[in-house]
Amino acid sequence: MDFIISEEQQMIRQAARDFAKNECLPGVIQRDEQQKFPKEQIMKLGELGFMGMMVDPKYGGSGLDTVSYVLAMEEISKIDASTSVCMSVNNSLVCWGIQEFGNDAQKEKYLTPLAMGQKDGELYIGAFLLSEPEAGSDATSQKTMAEDRGDHYLLNGTKNWITNGASASVYLVIAQTDPAKKSNGINVFIVERDTPGVEVAPKENKLGIRGSDTTSVMFTDVVVPKENRIGEDGFGFKFAMKTLAGGRIGIASQALGIASGAYELSLAYAKQRKAFGKEIMHHQAIQFKLADMATRIDASRLMCLKAASDKDNGRDYTLSSSMAKVFSSETAMWTATEAVQIHGGYGFVKEYHVERLMRDAKITQIYEGTSEVQRIVIGRTILK
């Protein structure tokens, strides 16, 4: 077994680290306070090739592997999880879904600008619309209907908790076309945001990842051309599950980044902060916390890289991505909470960053499948 990261992968990690420090850190507290979408950062990430990392260069992507994606996601997430979720959704839910299952015309028209994060100098990103007011974990209970009208579908319904809801130009919408067939009567459509009948609700006022925009999206008699359906009739639920398995690697590495960001800040603080006559790192109570953080983070990183390597090498990654996600997100929540504790009163104020990381960590246990859903996936797989 080889744990060596290649020179190219190291360069990508360094580029992401530099980007996070130089472009994401300035203003990260203000963007969080003001719920300001990191548009400038996303545009620059697009220029650097980070918005379509695994997309074929023929379609404007960087043609990199999933391991490189995990390394980049960790670095960006250490500093700015609002930016990294936008990057994750665009890369692994939207671009990957179209690349893997879309036809040539769909790739030509949509994948190329999505992978570049821009079109004609304007932001151009995607969103993945599966969740509904009554279909979150229970994703087969889709109420959004796409009625087959011959050469087009007529789309009606409401989606909620949509990351990039207000900023995306392209939506991948999962909808029911034949309720009698249950999960086999679900399809996925590419819907352009400016299609008549599409309405975006105001941004949710959230606990964490406040820079990212999360909205509901309503569809009223939206005409979707037949050529915008991805895959065979009835493929939509499998599309969602397969795409989410890769998405969970992105969120697992986001959680890993939040944890390692909180750990690095705690380590630096413990080295300089003095109490009872010595730096607090010399107190065993603090040292043990740091030791546990480092151990759990190392395990998370290995799990993320294992899931990425499974994907890159054509192995089934449903199990390893769910395991990486549940473990990394629980590590992020625990580590960020302990980071606030190590910082004491300073940890409770915004300037020290760890309170934001603690708030940002929580969502990693919820989106792209809650920790409970990951345990369902893991349980079903190991019991097969």
CB of 131 to ligand CAA, least distance (A): 5
Distance CA 337, CA 278 (A): 23
CB 90 within 8 A of CB 76: no
Q: Does residue 183 touch ligand CAA according to CB under 6 A?
A: yes
Distance CA 63, CA 61 (A): 6
Q: Is 176 exposed, middle or buried (0-12, 13-18, 19+ CB in 10 A)?
A: buried
Nearer to ligand CAA by Cβ, of 44 and 159: the residue is 159
Q: Does residue 368 touch ligand CAA according to CB under 6 A?
A: yes
Among 51, 72, 222, 245, indicate the residue that binds ligand CAA (CB under 6 A): 245
Q: Does residue 371 touch ligand CAA according to CB under 6 A?
A: no
Nearer to ligand CAA by Cβ, of 49 and 250: the residue is 250
Nearer to ligand CAA by Cβ, of 306 and 343: the residue is 306
* Token pair listed for 35: 């719920």
Which H, E and C letters describe 222-275, residue by residue? EEEEHHHECCCCCCHHHHHHHHHHHHHHHHHHHHHHHHHHHHHHHHHHHHHCEE
CB 234 within 8 A of CB 185: yes
The DSSP call for residue 376 is H
Nearer to ligand CAA by Cβ, of 216 and 318: the residue is 318
User: Catalytic residue at 355?
Assistant: no
Amino acid at 154: L
CB of 300 to ligand CAA, least distance (A): 19
CB of 255 to ligand CAA, least distance (A): 12
Which H, E and C letters describe 51-96, residue by residue? CCCCCCHHHCCCCCCHHHHHHHHHHHHHHCHHHHHHHHHHHHHHHH
Number of residues interacting with ligand CAA: please give it, by CB under 6 A: 24
Residues 92-111 that bind ligand CAA (CB under 6 A): none
Give the list of residues 6+ apart from residue 176 with CB closer than 8 angstroms, or none. Answer: 142, 143, 144, 145, 146, 185, 186
CB 210 within 8 A of CB 32: yes
CB 168 within 8 A of CB 127: yes
| Annotated catalytic residue, options 100, 132, 368, 372 | 368
Q: Can you tell me whether residue 221 is helix, strand or coil?
A: strand
Given the rule CB under 6 A, which of 22-30, 74-82, 128-136, 290-298 is the region that contacts ligand CAA? 128-136
Q: Which of 98, 236, 86, 96 minimizes the C-alpha distance to 162?
A: 86
Nearer to ligand CAA by Cβ, of 162 and 305: the residue is 162
Among 73, 244, 270, 326, indicate the residue that binds ligand CAA (CB under 6 A): 244
Q: Does residue 238 touch ligand CAA according to CB under 6 A?
A: yes
Longest dimension (CA), the chain: 78
CB 321 within 8 A of CB 305: no
CB of 382 to ligand CAA, least distance (A): 14
Q: Does residue 242 touch ligand CAA according to CB under 6 A?
A: yes
Q: Does residue 376 touch ligand CAA according to CB under 6 A?
A: yes
Nearer to ligand CAA by Cβ, of 80 and 368: the residue is 368
Among 35, 156, 184, 371, indicate the residue that binds ligand CAA (CB under 6 A): 184
Query: What would the x/- binding string for ligand CAA be over residues 301 to 320, using CB under 6 A?
Result: -----------------x--
Q: Does residue 297 touch ligand CAA according to CB under 6 A?
A: no
Q: Does residue 173 touch ligand CAA according to CB under 6 A?
A: no
- Footprint of ligand CAA (CB under 6 A): 89, 128, 130-131, 137, 139-140, 162-163, 183-184, 237-238, 241-242, 244-245, 318, 367-369, 373, 376-377
Give the active site residues.
368
